[in-house]
């Protein structure tokens, strides 16, 4: 494989964040080229799936954090992704934590990051996506992930901060993701607790309905993204709040602060992603699927590198999956490989549609 033999060794001589930024700049330029360059998304009758009123050409999405500022949104479909989640976007522009803040652990197929929501801010990102939307129709659904500005404190101000980004971005999104699970913004994960989460989700759900009524369109679907470092009891509370607030679905999981399954030299502070997260993230999906009895859509993310990984996550209860660290190690066509592999696995098992597969192995 060219990526592994030639491109990855070159990229891996550079600092992870510099390699990422340079690659993204190139992709951003490619994204701006005439639409003729963009191919239709990868799809197949076995891979098409309807989730929350949206049609996905295939179930493999780009996870949040890779294209945080929405600079290269149209390009990802060319690599085989069936949807993109941009962000996390914060209301105010902010630089994130001091560098270096992304670390590779190649023997373990892992990354640790403590970026801390480096963001152009929701005003700039809204302008960028608005321009993009005016110029062309996106070929895959777009999720926009919003999070809290670091320097904003106090519950009311934090609620206001989320609402500001929501109002700027929600009309530009096919779905919005509420991020309360990054380990790198102090105090953020407290918003996963029942009362606070309930207040936040209800506020955004009501805002979404009001905005939709004004524009005479259906409310934008809302997903909440959760951490893998929760007990089953915490998860049950999240499910309760999500259902009560009328939130569409859950994305599980973000990076972990645990270091289980990792040899001891992974000592950088931050969120761990990639292979060591796979089993935990799969367990969370399985538990959420059981708790929700399959009634709300789940998006599975964490340690997915292969078609087999994606297949198992869907069988555990995910309607869609996402990849980030797998792309760093396997290259941008990882989405296409996962998709072609999924078709083969479905053929082997006589499964005609993805919808049949969701939660079958719970
Ligand atoms: C460098 C990096 C930056 C990330 N930034 C974000 C982010 O801004 N918002 C978010 O919700 N998740 C972020 N994530 C988490 C991923 O979206 C994903 O949930 C996690 O990495 C697990 O998936 P993976 O093992 O496929 O990487 C980031 C992950 C990495 C590796």
Residues with catalytic annotation?
182
Dist. CA 73–CA 70, nearest whole Å: 6
What pLDDT digit, counting tens, does each position of 52-83 carry?
Answer: 999 999 999 999 999 999 999 999 999 999 99
Specify the higher pLDDT residue, 71 or 11: 71
| Angle (deg, nearest 10), helices 122-135 and 155-169 | 20
Cβ contacts of 125 within 8 Å, gap of 6 or more = 69, 70, 86, 87, 89, 119, 144, 168, 169
Residue nearest to atom 15 of ligand 1 (CA): 254
For residues 181 and 200, the answer to whether their CB atoms sit within 8 Å is no
Sheet of strand 271-274: strand arrangement: 102-105, 110-113, 271-274
- Which of 84, 271, 275, 277 to probe ligand 1 with, by most ligand atoms within 8 A of CB? 271
Give the model's pLDDT for residue 178. 97
Strands 49-51 and 54-56: antiparallel
What confidence category does residue 321 fall into, taking pLDDT thresholds of 50, 70 and 90? Answer: very high
Nearest atom, ligand 1, residue 305 CA: 26
> For position 96, what pLDDT does the model report?
94
Task: List the domain boundaries for the chain.
Answer: 2-357
Q: Looking at ligand 1, which residue's alpha carbon is closest to its atom 29?
A: 65
Nearest CA to ligand 1 atom 14: 65
Q: What is the largest CA-CA distance in the chain?
A: 55
Is the separation of the CB atoms in 235 and 296 below 8 Å?
Answer: no
The CATH number assigned to the domain with range 2-357 reads: 3.20.20.70
Give tens-digit pLDDT for 93-126: 999 999 999 999 998 999 999 999 999 999 999 9
pLDDT reading at 198 higher than 70: yes
CA distances from 57 to 82, 84, 239, 344, 354 (A): 5, 12, 28, 17, 11
Q: Please give the distance, rounded to the nearest whole angstrom, from the Cα atom of residue 274 to the centre of ligand 1.
A: 9
Atom of ligand 1 nearest to the CA of 275: 25
- Ligand 1 residue neighbourhood (C-beta within 6 Å): 63-65, 68, 87-88, 102, 111, 113, 115, 145, 179, 182, 225, 254-255, 273-274, 277, 301-304, 323-326
Q: How large is the average pLDDT for residues 27-32?
A: 85
Q: How many angstroms is it from 215 CA to the middle of ligand 1?
A: 32
Closest residue CA from atom 19 of ligand 1: 254
């Amino acid at each position: 494989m060219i990526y592994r033999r030639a491109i990855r060794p070159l990229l891996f001589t550079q600092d992870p964040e510099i390699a990422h930024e340079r690659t993204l700049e190139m992709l951003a330029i490619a994204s701006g080229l005439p639409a003729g360059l963009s191919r239709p998304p990868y799809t197949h009758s076995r891979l098409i799936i309807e989730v929350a009123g949206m049609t996905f050409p295939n179930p493999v999405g780009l996870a949040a954090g890779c294209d945080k500022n929405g600079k290269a949104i149209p390009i990802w479909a060319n690599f085989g992704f069936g949807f993109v989640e941009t962000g996390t976007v914060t209301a105010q522009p902010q630089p994130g934590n001091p560098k270096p803040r992304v670390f590779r652990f190649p023997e373990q197929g892992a990354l640790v990051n403590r970026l801390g929501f480096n963001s152009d801010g929701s005003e700039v990102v809204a302008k960028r996506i608005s321009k993009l939307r005016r110029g062309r129709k996106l070929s895959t659904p777009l999720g926009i992930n919003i999070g809290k500005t670091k320097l904003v404190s106090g519950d009311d101000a934090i609620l206001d901060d989320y609402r500001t980004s929501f109002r700027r971005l929600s009309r530009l999104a096919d779905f919005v993701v509420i991020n309360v699970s990054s380990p790198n913004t102090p105090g953020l994960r407290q918003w996963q607790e029942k009362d606070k989460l309930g207040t936040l989700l209800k506020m955004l759900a009501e805002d979404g309905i009001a905005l939709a009524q004004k524009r005479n369109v259906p409310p934008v679907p809302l997903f909440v993204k959760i951490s893998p470092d929760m007990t089953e009891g915490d998860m049950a509370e999240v499910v309760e709040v999500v259902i009560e607030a009328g939130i569409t679905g859950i994305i599980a999981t973000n990076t972990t602060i645990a270091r289980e399954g990792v040899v001891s030299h992974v000592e950088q502070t931050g969120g761990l992603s990639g292979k060591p997260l796979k089993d935990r993230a799969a367990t969370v999906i399985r538990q959420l699927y059981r708790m929700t009895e399959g009634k709300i859509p789940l998006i599975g993310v964490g340690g997915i590198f292969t078609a087999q990984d994606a297949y198992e996550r869907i069988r555990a209860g995910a309607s869609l999956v996402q990849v980030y660290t797998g792309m760093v190690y396997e290259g941008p066509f990882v989405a296409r490989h996962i998709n072609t592999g999924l078709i083969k696995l479905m053929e082997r098992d006589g499964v005609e549609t993805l919808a049949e597969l969701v939660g079958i192995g719970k």
